[in-house]
Amino acid sequence: MLDIKFVRNNPDVVKQNIKNKFQNEKLPLVDEVIELDKRNREIKQEVEALRAEKNKASKQIGAMMAQKKLEEAEELKKKVAESGGRIDALSEEEKEVEEKIRKIMMTIPNIIDPSVPIGKDDSENVELERFGEPVVPDFEIPYHTEIMESFNGIDLDSARRVAGNGFYYLMGDIARLHSAVLAYARDFMINRGFTYCVPPFMIRSNVVTGVMSFAEMDAMMYKIEGEDLYLIGTSEHSMIGKFINTLLTEDELPQTLTSYSPCFRKEKGAHGIEERGVYRIHQFEKQEMIVVCKPEDSMEWYDKLWQNTVDLFRSMDIPVRTLECCSGDLADLKVKSVDVEAWSPRQKKYFEVGSCSNLGDAQARRLGIRVKGENGNYFAHTLNNTVVAPPRMLIAFLENNLQADGSVKIPEVLRPYMGGNAVIMPKK
């Protein structure tokens, strides 16, 4: 969310940013919120003047009463009462105007970084760098569920009967591999200086609207019936929410946290949710990283965060690339974002396994996350990034470590989490 003062003083910048994000339907909101802001300031000035007059008149009434000027005092009392009524009416209007301003300000997108490429959608995202050599083996790579089924490691039919499409049972070596990847990712981030955390898996509505746009909320979040609670779509939501309405000191920054959680997503409008497989699903588990820092440090942390994910995947012999998200592919709160994509030998292309985002002070402004500085308080910057998100990540892992005999090689870094096994063998 932008500062209303910034919008007031830089309407052309805000409008051009909206155009860059191909959201021209939001352009009228800029002029509308500026007019509402003007009216809001007029109301405050009038209320302040009326209260000053009311206080002055109250003192005069007291003096008149002491001097037995009762008629004059009564006349002044009527004027004070009228002023009080006017103040009440203006105060009510002020609440309505401020609510309208808040809703519009939460809809106007954040100012993207100048380095972000301009493009309409994800088809115009820009490849930045490749890490590791993509390999296509000389044997056929089966579909990922076929690999899992060869280990008796997945049961989609039972999950469909129990919960519907978009759910799964993982079993045996595949379930163990799933947990091993998460445990390794946890320790990987701890070794990089991050504090491990297991957060609440449900959050209140004020946290939801603090961490994401209304459009994202509608497309992602599951609401708990009859309660002001939502299931989290990622632990970033509750991890950033941890700092709601806090005043941090500069020596407490940066806050660097890595968190485990299950994630729940409606995947509204998603294609392929009916398809067999675990690429796009309603429930999954994830290791996340978040940073709360000073504004001048956020871009440096942005580069560190995506590099952590690249390093993690490379430690498991999985080739990856980074893809810069263009303006039209950025969610409204994001300043800059990069996707990490893993190589799929079966498809002979890369696919997304994580996303790193710098949100500037947008979330901090919504949630009231401030820093106490030498020259006054200011809003912190927040960032988030996927460490690893199985079972989607398992697709990349299984395809890149599958052997010709159907076995799956276990990279050295994962072996301590897999009972020391260097390979797992199919059951059929």
Query: pTM of whole model > 0.85?
Result: yes
Task: Look at residue 276 in the predicted model and tell me its pLDDT.
Answer: 63
Q: Model confidence over 108-132: pLDDT tens digits?
A: 999 999 999 999 999 999 999 999 9
Q: Is 70 exceeded by the pLDDT of residue 275?
A: no
Task: Look at residue 269 in the predicted model and tell me its pLDDT.
Answer: 52
pLDDT tier for residue 296 given thresholds of 50, 70 and 90: very high
State the average pLDDT for the chain: 93
Stretch 180-204: mean pLDDT: 98
pLDDT tier for residue 268 given thresholds of 50, 70 and 90: low
Q: Is 90 exceeded by the pLDDT of residue 83?
A: no
Stretch 27-50: mean pLDDT: 96
Three-class DSSP category at 287 = strand
Half-sphere exposure of 81 (CA within 13 A, CB side): 6
Q: Model confidence over 358-379: pLDDT tens digits?
A: 999 999 999 999 999 999 999 9
Q: Is 80 exceeded by the pLDDT of residue 71?
A: no
Per 3-state DSSP, the chain is made up of helix, strand and coil in percentages (nearest 5) of 45, 20, 30
Q: Model confidence over 303-334: pLDDT tens digits?
A: 999 999 999 999 999 999 999 999 999 999 99
**Range name among 18-22, 55-59, 138-142, 413-417 with the lowest pLDDT average:** 55-59
**Strand 283-293 relative to strand 320-324, pairing:** unpaired
Q: Is 60 exceeded by the pLDDT of residue 272?
A: no
Q: Is 60 exceeded by the pLDDT of residue 187?
A: yes
Q: Report phi then psi at 288, rounded to 5.
A: -120, 165
267 vs 159, higher pLDDT: 159
pLDDT tier for residue 219 given thresholds of 50, 70 and 90: confident
The CA–CA distances, whole Å, from 215 to 65, 193, 256, 268, 331 equal 61, 34, 28, 11, 9
Q: Is 50 exceeded by the pLDDT of residue 289?
A: yes
pLDDT tier for residue 63 given thresholds of 50, 70 and 90: confident
Separation of alpha carbons 362 and 367, rounded Å = 9
Task: Look at residue 172 in the predicted model and tell me its pLDDT.
Answer: 97
Separation of alpha carbons 120 and 325, rounded Å = 10
Q: Which domains does the chain have, with CATH numbers?
A: 4-105 (1.10.287.40), 122-424 (3.30.930.10)
Task: Look at residue 274 in the predicted model and tell me its pLDDT.
Answer: 44
Task: Look at residue 262 in the predicted model and tell me its pLDDT.
Answer: 96
Separation of alpha carbons 23 and 283, rounded Å = 31
